[in-house]
Structure 1
Amino acid sequence: MNQVMACIDGSPQAAAVCDCAAWASRKLDAPLTLLHVLDQQQYPAAGNLSGIIGLGSREYLLEELAALDEKRSKLALEEGRMMLDAARQRAITAGVAQPDVRQRHGDLVESLRELESDIRLLVIGKQGEDSGVDTALIGSHLESVIRTLHRPILVTPTGFTAPDSVMLAFDGSATTRKGVEMIASSPLFKGIPIHLVMVGADTGDSRALLESARDALRAAGFEVQIAIRAGEVEPTLHAYQAEHRIGLLVMGAYGHSRIRQFLVGSTTTNMIRTTTTPLLLLR
């Protein structure tokens, strides 16, 4: 579990995914692997089509279709290799010494599940190559990846700029307390100011939890600001982020509180859909 792994495809987010993964690889001093998965539904492995076409006089058609499928699959594999080569060169230019590349044929989610033990951080675009030009959409595989993997997942929009500040959406839960510990110990956040933001009522208990988290981060050498804001989670977090020009948002992937009602309601999907900066989801 030591690699930064980046999902590379033909989407508009691919360059940002590569740049974000290169940044994370350098900050974490961890190997970078660039992964391309050829969709088995779009480019299935060769199969027996005789039951569909029939036998006898139409055997030539069967042979033509099989050859066409093989050609399409080979072209798609070659396109994937070209994307990986371009991403590898981009990562090297960004300062990554020896990025690795992998290409697989199958399902993206299943491939990532099989590779999970090697993954320290997954970087993936919020849209895939089949999502079109509407930036409000999210990729069809993304929610399944978030549901399946038990690793931090860094979701990138179309562009990437190395963040000069980080906001953790904090609710005092076990996941966000673990997030504080991760930020305190991870080289990924070293030297970057941290904002701890809680959405809800400004009660004594809430403020005590927030101040305890602030003190832990300050003890680790971080510059920390805290805030409690009332309102709906998504617009309140985005408004704070815009107000303070924060470059990276960190939040829990799912849970019970209002901030962490992810994948069982609309909050996570909406946050991913509307974010214009990288979003790090914790499990």
Structure 2
Amino acid sequence: MTTNVIACIDGSSHASAVCDCASWASLRLTSPLTFLHVQDKSQAAPDRDLSGSIGLGSQEHLLAALADLDAQRSKLAIEQGRLMLEAAQARALKSGVVATSLQRHGEFVETLVELEASTRLLILGRHGEDSASAYAHLGSHVEQAIRALHCPVLVTQGQFKAPKKIMLAFDGSATTRKSVTMLAESPLLAGLELHLVLIGADTAEHQEQLKWAGVLLNDAGIHTQSHIIPGEVEQALAAYQQQHDIDMIVMGAYGHSRIRQLLVGSTTNSMIRAARVPLLILR
């Protein structure tokens, strides 16, 4: 089955970044790009019978007016979604990408799960259109999508620029070794500068693990340098990203227990919330 880059478009401040990031990824992966807009049921006005609160005996008229208002809102939301998708396609075309569009009505995460079989990479904005700030709290849909899906998820925000320096948070575990293998087998980061960063003690075992990863990535055409840094994981990774002008962070979304899996992984979750650059989550 053909696998696509799926980019979720809404009215948030991150929509332009999602468009640009999706175009970049589509070209790097040579995969078709589809923009998706989901009119989520949870965003609809709650179904309430307000007629009894009026007390004027005009219940039928009021219910008819409310139904008509809901229909108008629904049509307007569909038209807004269509216009956003058209704008996204036009923006992608300027980058040389001919994208398709898809409009759905239903639960956002359920829709993503339905499309997962044909999704090579999912691209999301850090939060939805209900958030006012470009760096507002993490949208609940982002966390839910990462928990529910098994495909790679790229979370972007602000303005997107094609990355030159990438950081992979590596700890030598089976899950991060799998992340290394996934990157080596993908053209997404080929030719870029990748920093393998292990937070922990400078031991022979850690050096050997980094050597294995570095050889695999370099052989795949990803220019790699390795570093072992002491400190707390979240703080040390964030500091390294800022000090070395890292443009994108790559992390695994695995936990070591069923409870941690439900939480995505405590370090991954913290980095999603704190990162000021795109974050690629590998499953």
TM-score after normalising by structure 2: 0.91
**Taking structure 1 as reference, are residues 247 and 57 closer, same or farther at Cα in structure 2, changes over 3 Å only?**
closer
Deviation (angstroms), 1:71: 0.2
Structure 1: segments with no counterpart, 5+ residues: none
- 1:170 maps to 170
Question: Take 1:27 and 1:220, find their aligned partners in 2: how far apart are those partners?
Answer: 15
- Partner residue, 2:195: 195
Answering whether residue 279 of structure 2 is matched by residue 272 of structure 1, we say: no
Alignment of 1:200-279 (within 5 A): 200-256=200-256, 263=263, 266-279=266-279
Distance 1:224 1:206 in 2: 16
Counterpart CA distance in 2 for 1:65 and 1:9 is 26
Q: Which amino acid is the alignment partner of residue 82 of structure 2?
A: R
Secondary structure of the corresponding residue to residue 41 of structure 1: helix
Secondary structure of the corresponding residue to residue 251 of structure 2? strand
Question: How many residues align structurally?
Answer: 277
SS in 2 for 1:188: coil
- 1:155 deviates by 0.3
Q: CA deviation at 1:140?
A: 1.9
Counterpart in the other structure of 1:21? 22
How many angstroms apart in 1 are the aligned matches of 2:233 and 2:191?
Answer: 27
Moved runs in structure 1, 4+ residues, more than 3 A?
51-54
Structure 2: runs of 5 or more not aligned: none
Distance across 2 between alignment mates of 1:198 and 1:256? 18
Alignment CA distance shift 1:183-1:162 (3 Å): same
Q: 1:72 matched to which residue of 2?
A: 73
The CA deviation at 1:190 is 1.2
Shift of 1:269: 3.0
- Counterparts of 1:33 and 1:265, CA distance in 2: 29
Name the aligned partner's letter for residue 210 of structure 1.
L
Distance 1:74 1:261, change over 3 A: closer
Question: 1:145-169: CA deviations, max 9, x gaps?
Answer: 1100001000001111100111111
Distance of 1:4 and 1:191 partners within structure 2:
20
Taking every aligned residue pair, what percent have the same amino acid on both sides?
Answer: 55
Asked whether the equivalents of residues 261 and 267 of structure 1 are also in contact (C-alpha less than 8 Å), the reply is: no
> 2:133 maps to which residue?
133
Aligned-residue RMSD, C-alpha? 2.2
Task: Output one character per residue of 1:116-140: Cα deviation in whole Å (capped at 9) or x when no partner.
Answer: 1010000001111112226141112
* CA contact 2:25–2:188 (8 Å) conserved in 1: yes
**Map of 1:10 onto structure 2:** 11
1:156 aligns to what? 156
**How far apart, CA to CA, are the structure 2 residues paired with 1:104 and 1:264?**
26
CA contact (8 A) 2:272 2:279 kept: yes
Q: Given that residues 254 and 262 in structure 1 are in contact (C-alpha distance below 8 angstroms), is that contact kept between their aligned partners in structure 2?
A: no
Where in structure 2 are the equivalents of 1:76-155 lying within 5 Å? 76-96=77-97, 98-133=98-133, 135-155=135-155
Greater shift after overlay, 11-20 or 238-247?
Answer: 238-247
Q: Report the CA distance between 1:60 and its aligned residue.
A: 1.3
User: 2:122 is paired with a residue of what secondary structure?
Assistant: strand
Structure 1 residue 88: Cα displacement: 0.7
Judge conservation of contact 2:197–2:229 (CA < 8 Å) in 1.
Answer: yes
